[in-house]
Structure 1
Amino acid sequence: MLRNLFTVAIRNLKRQKFFSILHIIGLSIGVAACLTVWLYSHHELSYDQFHEKADRIVRVNQTFIWGDTDDLFGSTGPAVIHALRSEIPEFESLTRAHTPGSRLVRYNAPDKLIMFEEDNIVAADSNFLQVFTFPLLRGNPATALTHPNSVVLTATTAQRYFGSIDVLGKQLEMGEGDQQKTVQVTGVAEDLPGNSHIEFDFLLSMSSFPRVQRQADSWMWTTFITFGVLRPDASLEQVAQKVAQVPGKYLEPFLQKYRGISYEEFKASGEEWDLYLQPLLDIHLRSTNVYSRLNEVNDIKTLYILWMVAGLTLLLSLINFINLSTARSTARAKEVGVRKVIGSGRSLLIFQFLTESVLLATAAVVVGILLTELSLSLFNQAMNTDLALKPFQTILLLPSMAIIALGMGALAGIYPAFYLSSFRPAQVLKGTIQGGTKGTRVRNLLVTLQFTISIGLIGSTLIIQEQVHYWQSFDLGFDRDNKIIIQHANRLGNSFEAFKNDLLSNPLIEQVTYASDTPPLVHDFDNFTLDGQEEKQLSVNYVATDEHFTDVFGLEIIHGRSFSKAFNESNNIIVNRRLTQNLGFTTPEEALQHKLEHYGQKFTIIGVMDDFTTSLSGNQYPFAILANNAPIYRDSNYELTLNLSREVQPEELTTLLQTLEAQWQATNPKAPFSYAFVDQEYMQLFSQAIVFGKMLRALAILAVLIACLGLIGLIAYVIDKRNKEIGIRKVLGASMSSIWLLLSRDFGKLLGIGFVLAIPATWHLMNLWLEDYPIRTAISMFTLLAAGGIMLCTTLITMSFQTIKAAQIDPVKYLKEE
């Protein structure tokens, strides 16, 4: 019996090769889309699960104290860990990671100097490798980070410098000037997996930084990521409540020492300084409101949307299957009638049709896996991922795919099976049965759903592209175009002026400025007070720079003046309009000549500039410009920003960068040349959203392709069903355009209904997505109309190939049987 069912099913599939191929292609595209999204989601959901204590590790977050925002900080001051150790016995252990910034690392090999600029450097407490599972290939995790100037390298990093992983006891030179130190390799770790939110190439001992011990009581130096391991019997909720009470007890001495106020006075002023716990396994996908120092995070909403879209893509494939199967019902009606006459029961017929569906679904799953494997390299390149169908995954995947094939076959084939098996043999064999209105209604409903989904996906893709364009064109309040950043310019030392003059001699370079940071994200910030109002401290972002900074970035001085070489500017300061408002001045002009105090050092306000955006929130926060020689703490890494005289072509840019590198090497051969572009640095902040947009665009293209395949099959069926009508109309003088309209207008009506349904759904869903971005555009009705227009054009092109071909055929071919 089973053998006969499969034999008949295979014969039927061979007989209808065109429709069988359409079924397999449509279903396989849906399978490939779902499988790719599953691989991506599996990778994202697996972040940090490889740690043995992952389910008990939490990160300590705190209030974002450096600006007016409800977001949190994923890092704390060095004093927090000491307070938690004293107050929270439910922590089995506590450890910290610290991000000291990039360093120049050198190794004097016997035959050459090996030198790299290293950005991926993390310092950690001595027990860090006992809290987190980063296995060591060489060294002891219990002692590797115990002593000062100890470093653990990843295997790839060890190979890069030494050509081997047997490097225990070898030394590297790290840093420059007064920060230069010799570090000794005490361990080599396995290369970190791609699903780790903690990333490092160099893991330094925390004791390598004396400042950490000197400022052990600081709550303000918020560059320490504090982790705790809960005891197995501890309750996260109860521990979180106890942690929330810690600032009230331990922050008081710090506030009294550095700000001269009590904790109660601090709270009464409207400020907050609270601590929160976040499970380690939530960090990667549930931290969109937390500033992270160790790695970029993603958003769980992105996965929800991708799952939904992948499911809709597969649904489109199933709709195609159902539509094409029911459309061909009349072609198989006589088969059903004959089978029933010779004794086949309805259940056997249903099983026969389901067998055909399962065979098609199985073939589609196999083709879908092959498509996924073939397309993964392109996907990884476009999305900057490293996904792969690994052998063990494939083995585990095969049973799942078999179940999916069975489920897809049953789901796609159950309605056609019941529909086809319901035909009455007497009517079928007399030739009185027609397609019926029931099948047509269901088919029209499914086609409308296809159009709705396709238009919705096209519209969502266009909205995301529009949002990316909005980010690119958003007025931040300063000029970010045609600017090159030369990083670590402080390494030029005494050669700085000569290098700068060489730059200015290039006709493509209009201006050059030397600064501790570049907008929009300025990382230096601290508390300032208005002279005579020491009780009111304001958090201020600041940059130390020269007299060209405002001109290079197009910042407008609305009152007073900018810096000038004609004056000693070391005790002067330029502030923005927002800072004058926060200081209590009625007009910006009133702030001129007043003094701001910073830890006893006073700066005279000589200028007020217009606000510009210093945050992804789109807000203008208090901001100040100080002189390079101002007596204030600032990062030792300075940058040169080159303002180009015009927009350059790619070939010119390549030549310019080669020239700049040659000039750098001639001036400072002991340090690598590194550069960036201001506009690209800014857009990098939205990289996750851009990647999401690419994935959604690919899925939208697949959805439209599936819809087109379904249309091809349905149009072929309609033409086959109405071929005699087409012949008669042509004999009676019908034009090609009238026949085209006859065959196409029903689909046009369904497209119109799909458009009406897709618009509100797309608008609502994309508004929810845009809520996560303070800098966002409004959804334009024109964008949604464009989505409908794209689907209309695609539909017309798809249908026209077959309808025009049908309208051109000689009517004799259709009518000769009559």
Structure 2
Amino acid sequence: MFRNFIKIAFRSLLKFKGYASINLLGLALGLSTGILILVYVLDEISFDKFHTKADRIYRVGTDMAELKTGVTRTSEANGWPIGALLEKDFPEVEKVVYMANGSNLQILHEGKHFDERLYYAGNDFFEIFSFPLLKGNPATALTKINAIVLTESMAKKYFGESDPLGKTMTLADTLAFEVTGVMKDLPQQSHMQFNALMSFATYIALRDGFSYNDGWGNINVRNYVLLKPDVNKENFFAKARNIYMDHVKSNLEEWGMYMYVAFEPLPDIYLRTTRGNGMGPIGSIDRVYIVTGIAAFVILLACINFINLATARSVYRAKEVGLRKVVGSTRQSLIYQFLSESFLLTILSFVIALALIGLTLPLFNQVLAKTYTLSVLAQPVAMLGIVILVSLIAFLSGYYPAVVMSSLKPSEVLKGSLTTGSRGVQLRRVLVVFQFMISATLIICTLVVIDQLDYMQNRDLGFSSHQVLVLDMDKVTDRGGQGSSPDGVSVFSNELERMSTVESVSFANAVPSRPGWVGQWAFPEDKPDGGSISVEYMAVDEAYLKTLGVTLVAGRNFDLNRPAEIKDGLIINETCVQKMGWGTPENAIGKRIDSPSKHPAGEVIGVVKDYHEFGLQQEIYPMTMDYNPKRGRYEAIRFKTTGVKDLMTSIETLWKKYYPNNEFKYFFLDENFARQYQTEQRMAKVFEVFSIVTVVIAVIGLIGLVSFMVIAKTKEIGIRKVLGADVLSITRLLSREFLALVLLANIIAIPLAWYLADRWLESFAYRTTVGPQIFVITIVAGLVITLVAVSSQTIKAALMNPVKSLRNE
């Protein structure tokens, strides 16, 4: 019987080729979208779930609250004693692993320096995480000082096919590390990404004064805890939260802040963290929800097309249904028959969808910053998801039309008294409105995202980012280039300044988009109202303001002829003035700032106009600068507009002269600052692509519906032409219903889209406004598209010879 259903389904599709083509294209677009998003979502939610103990592993973070302002700040790291106290004082904890960034160390190999992603890790690392160790002992590999474990690819890079165990690697020019293990390369679905692990004992040995009993304010160690099975997690979290307060509350109050311990489940870090992730990639659960929701609507629109066209053509298949019932077909068998057509059409659409996926996968990867290949579809989870998706679409598309068609009464059908019925017409109208409402909502959201991007890219940032080249000198050990002069000015910098196309050069530990030490605690010396505030500390030179184009609004810049100010002076921004409670920039001059960490500390000699160190997603941070180029990392070079290519060649030549063993790393400030908006740029692309897809699907369905309406009204059109109606009046008659439906859809979409767009814009500290022009553009575009789509069919009908349409009457 099933074979017979399939045979009949094929015949039906061949008989109604136009209908089948429209549905094939619509369902193929829906399926390809659904499959691509399915792969994306499965990948995103799989992060860190490969660890066998993932449900018991938590990352330990720190919450900080300023007593003066109430501002809270979060960190993924902890003070030095936290890990040891968790392990010692809490029986719920089975193990703790300590980790810290070690990427400041360069590898010296065959006379060349190499940058790698290096981290320090405690000896229980391989007991907690499920990273396979291919060579070495997981229990002892990270125990000794100067022990290093390499990933498989890094081992091959430096040792080829030879066994690296027991061999020596040189880091930071003089430190000899013994290779104690080789681990399998980390999977992409891991929130931590590194090339090698050094023992945490090495971290301690390299830091004079490190103590598990002190250093509460040194928030730079990452701790992960493995809880024992079946512990009461909520009770443990509540007890452990107050470790800082239980041990150093008086110190914290003196600093003007409270600090608490926080815990994040390992599988939640990638998608749900609010603390950032300095160890690797970070996703967004909101982005997953958005693309999933959009994909669901695209699939739903494709199903609606199927339902609309199937119910619209029910009149033309009515005699077939009537005859089948007369010869004995049951309603159940008819439902199976029509569902078979739906499944067959969906399977054929799936084949087309695979071809579309192959064509669009590069674009999909580019939009979402992924590297998927078609082989990902062969994974068991993906295959199961595809089978479920195809079955669901086939059922959703075919069930309602099958029920409608199978309910037709033979007596009405064979007597010719069957009509489409007001319920069917009303349903199709509702579905058309729903389709275009979704399309209009997406178009409005797309325009808002594009408008916000334009706003961010064109807003005055408070500094000049154009024509600034920045050299990253983080790994250069002799930054002065064969030594520095007594005042710390680099010989390398002096040679740069002598170049004809260079206007100024500055050496600092931060530039916009590459901030300084964010989260330093500072307070006014006289403590008005009491309490510390969190500030960004920057170490700069006297040329920083000129090179970056930052405006001084009160006081003066650093002056090498004023040695006292060079030693003790501070420049702050307007936001810092307000946070300190000093009112105006002029009132801040001469005031003193202190800090528990001694940086920043000094007398305010100048105030600069606020400028954006970060992207516009974040508010401007209180900022302090002192004169300390020896702490610098970035060489900022402002150059003239001409001869950029020659300038780059000259700078690279000079670099090789002074730093022959270091990689020449640089970026242009304006381009690097713009990279902070990559997430928003990807979101704009997502909305653009899906807006086009939804409009195409809706228009395809609309053309199909208009075609059926034209066939149904063929005789009416003929009569009207005989009575004198012209092409324009007939076209207007046939088009106005659809134009009214699309207009209604846009009106309904406006408040929904405005709400969604406004919610998204709330995530920006500085945002555009959703103006009426966006809604007008959307409505006009929707009506024009509808008019073109409808007219393509109605004009053809209006031009038909009335003799042909009436010859059978």
Query: Does 1:310 find its partner at 2:312?
Result: no
Change (3 A) 1:538 1:26: closer
Describe the superposition over 1:2-41 as per-residue Cα deviations: whole angstroms up to 9, x where unpaired: 3332222211111112211221221122122112111111
Describe the superposition over 1:60-104 as per-residue Cα deviations: whole angstroms up to 9, x where unpaired: 111146896334211112221122223212110111111134443
Instruction: Tell me, yes or no, if the aligned pair for 1:87 and 1:246 is still in contact at 8 Å.
Output: no
Instruction: Give the structure 1 partner of residue 485 of structure 2.
Output: none
Query: Does 1:236 find its partner at 2:227?
Result: no
3-state SS, counterpart of residue 123 of structure 1: strand
User: Using the alignment, how far apart are the partners of 2:317 and 2:500 within structure 1?
Assistant: 77
Instruction: Tell me, yes or no, if the aligned pair for 1:138 and 1:165 is still in contact at 8 Å.
Output: no
- TM norm structure 1: 0.89
3-state SS, counterpart of residue 670 of structure 1: coil
Change (3 A) 1:15 1:107: same
Instruction: Tell me, yes or no, if the aligned pair for 1:285 and 1:299 is still in contact at 8 Å.
Output: yes
Query: Does 1:181 find its partner at 2:181?
Result: no
Query: Does 1:70 find its partner at 2:55?
Result: no
Describe the superposition over 1:704-746 as per-residue Cα deviations: whole angstroms up to 9, x where unpaired: 2211211221122222223344445455554443333233221
Instruction: Give the structure 1 partner of residue 59 of structure 2.
Output: 59
Instruction: Give the structure 2 partner of residue 510 of structure 1.
Output: 503
Which runs of 5 or more structure 1 residues have no equivalent in the other structure? 253-260
Describe the superposition over 1:398-427 as per-residue Cα deviations: whole angstroms up to 9, x where unpaired: 555445444433322222222223333343
Instruction: Tell me, yes or no, if the aligned pair for 2:109 and 2:170 is still in contact at 8 Å.
Output: yes
User: Using the alignment, how far apart are the partners of 2:377 and 2:640 within structure 1?
Assistant: 56
Query: Does 1:201 find its partner at 2:188?
Result: no
AA in 2 matched with 1:570 = K
Alignment of 1:365-384 (within 5 A): 365-384=350-369
Of residues 747, 771, 793, the one that matches 2:738 is 747
Change (3 A) 1:536 1:332: closer
AA in 1 matched with 2:114 = F
Instruction: Give the structure 2 partner of residue 548 of structure 1.
Output: 543
Tell me the CA shift for residue 225 of structure 1: 1.1
Instruction: Give the structure 1 partner of residue 267 of structure 2.
Output: 281
Tell me the CA shift for residue 750 of structure 1: 0.6
AA in 1 matched with 2:505 = V
AA in 2 matched with 1:377 = P
Query: Does 1:41 find its partner at 2:41?
Result: yes
Tell me the CA shift for residue 327 of structure 1: 1.2
AA in 2 matched with 1:603 = G
Query: Does 1:423 find its partner at 2:408?
Result: yes
> Which deviates the most, 744-753 or 339-348?
339-348
Change (3 A) 1:74 1:396: closer
Instruction: Give the structure 1 partner of residue 91 of structure 2.
Output: 89
Instruction: Give the structure 2 partner of residue 256 of structure 1.
Output: none
User: Using the alignment, how far apart are the partners of 1:529 and 1:345 within structure 2?
Assistant: 84
Query: Does 1:334 find its partner at 2:319?
Result: yes
Instruction: Tell me, yes or no, if the aligned pair for 1:124 and 1:145 is still in contact at 8 Å.
Output: yes
Identity %: 33
- TM norm structure 2: 0.90
Change (3 A) 1:760 1:548: same
Please tell me the root mean square deviation across aligned C-alpha atoms, in Å. Answer: 3.0
User: Using the alignment, how far apart are the partners of 1:794 and 1:685 within structure 2?
Assistant: 36
Of residues 720, 724, 729, the one that matches 2:711 is 720
User: Using the alignment, how far apart are the partners of 1:754 and 1:93 within structure 2?
Assistant: 58
User: Using the alignment, how far apart are the partners of 1:576 and 1:695 within structure 2?
Assistant: 37
Describe the superposition over 1:505-528 as per-residue Cα deviations: whole angstroms up to 9, x where unpaired: 666543322111112552325344
3-state SS, counterpart of residue 144 of structure 1: coil
Tell me the CA shift for residue 811 of structure 1: 4.7
Change (3 A) 1:595 1:427: closer
Of residues 457, 480, 505, the one that matches 1:493 is 480
Tell me the CA shift for residue 761 of structure 1: 1.4
Change (3 A) 1:242 1:557: same
Instruction: Tell me, yes or no, if the aligned pair for 1:90 and 1:239 is still in contact at 8 Å.
Output: yes
Change (3 A) 1:14 1:397: farther
3-state SS, counterpart of residue 167 of structure 1: coil
Change (3 A) 1:114 1:161: farther
Change (3 A) 1:594 1:335: closer
Instruction: Give the structure 2 partner of residue 258 of structure 1.
Output: none
Change (3 A) 1:445 1:400: same
Instruction: Tell me, yes or no, if the aligned pair for 1:298 and 1:688 is still in contact at 8 Å.
Output: no
Of residues 102, 119, 122, the one that matches 2:119 is 122
Query: Does 1:782 find its partner at 2:780?
Result: no
Tell me the CA shift for residue 302 of structure 1: 2.1
> Which deviates the most, 556-565 or 614-623?
614-623
Change (3 A) 1:657 1:152: farther
Instruction: Give the structure 1 partner of residue 244 of structure 2.
Output: 247
> Which deviates the most, 367-376 or 742-751?
367-376
Tell me the CA shift for residue 810 of structure 1: 4.8
3-state SS, counterpart of residue 570 of structure 1: helix
AA in 2 matched with 1:161 = Y
User: Using the alignment, how far apart are the partners of 2:598 and 2:197 within structure 1?
Assistant: 36
Instruction: Tell me, yes or no, if the aligned pair for 1:456 and 1:758 is still in contact at 8 Å.
Output: yes
Tell me the CA shift for residue 674 of structure 1: 0.7
Change (3 A) 1:707 1:90: same
Tell me the CA shift for residue 483 of structure 1: 2.6
Tell me the CA shift for residue 312 of structure 1: 0.8
Instruction: Give the structure 2 partner of residue 106 of structure 1.
Output: 108
Tell me the CA shift for residue 229 of structure 1: 0.5
Tell me the CA shift for residue 247 of structure 1: 1.5
Give the total of aligned pairs: 789
User: Using the alignment, how far apart are the partners of 1:134 and 1:181 within structure 2?
Assistant: 26
Of residues 439, 443, 457, the one that matches 1:472 is 457
Tell me the CA shift for residue 266 of structure 1: 4.1
3-state SS, counterpart of residue 682 of structure 2: helix
> Which deviates the most, 302-311 or 804-813?
804-813
Instruction: Tell me, yes or no, if the aligned pair for 1:83 and 1:250 is still in contact at 8 Å.
Output: no
AA in 2 matched with 1:494 = G
Instruction: Give the structure 2 partner of residue 640 of structure 1.
Output: 635
Instruction: Tell me, yes or no, if the aligned pair for 1:595 and 1:603 is still in contact at 8 Å.
Output: yes
Which runs of 5 or more structure 2 residues have no equivalent in the other structure? 483-488
User: Using the alignment, how far apart are the partners of 1:341 and 1:528 within structure 2?
Assistant: 89
Instruction: Give the structure 2 partner of residue 560 of structure 1.
Output: 555
AA in 2 matched with 1:711 = L
3-state SS, counterpart of residue 32 of structure 1: helix
Change (3 A) 1:349 1:539: closer
Change (3 A) 1:504 1:327: farther
Change (3 A) 1:740 1:604: same
AA in 1 matched with 2:444 = G
User: Using the alignment, how far apart are the partners of 1:600 and 1:698 within structure 2?
Assistant: 52
User: Using the alignment, how far apart are the partners of 1:653 and 1:704 within structure 2?
Assistant: 45
AA in 2 matched with 1:10 = F
Instruction: Give the structure 2 partner of residue 257 of structure 1.
Output: none
Instruction: Tell me, yes or no, if the aligned pair for 2:191 and 2:277 is still in contact at 8 Å.
Output: no
User: Using the alignment, how far apart are the partners of 1:168 and 1:723 within structure 2?
Assistant: 84
Of residues 664, 673, 684, the one that matches 2:675 is 684
Describe the superposition over 1:595-627 as per-residue Cα deviations: whole angstroms up to 9, x where unpaired: 444567963332122233445664333322211
AA in 1 matched with 2:787 = L
Instruction: Tell me, yes or no, if the aligned pair for 2:119 and 2:197 is still in contact at 8 Å.
Output: yes
3-state SS, counterpart of residue 283 of structure 2: coil
Tell me the CA shift for residue 488 of structure 1: 0.5
Instruction: Give the structure 2 partner of residue 707 of structure 1.
Output: 698
Query: Does 1:137 find its partner at 2:123?
Result: no
Instruction: Give the structure 1 partner of residue 446 of structure 2.
Output: 461
User: Using the alignment, how far apart are the partners of 1:584 and 1:411 within structure 2?
Assistant: 63
Change (3 A) 1:351 1:292: closer
Change (3 A) 1:248 1:22: same
Instruction: Give the structure 2 partner of residue 589 of structure 1.
Output: 586
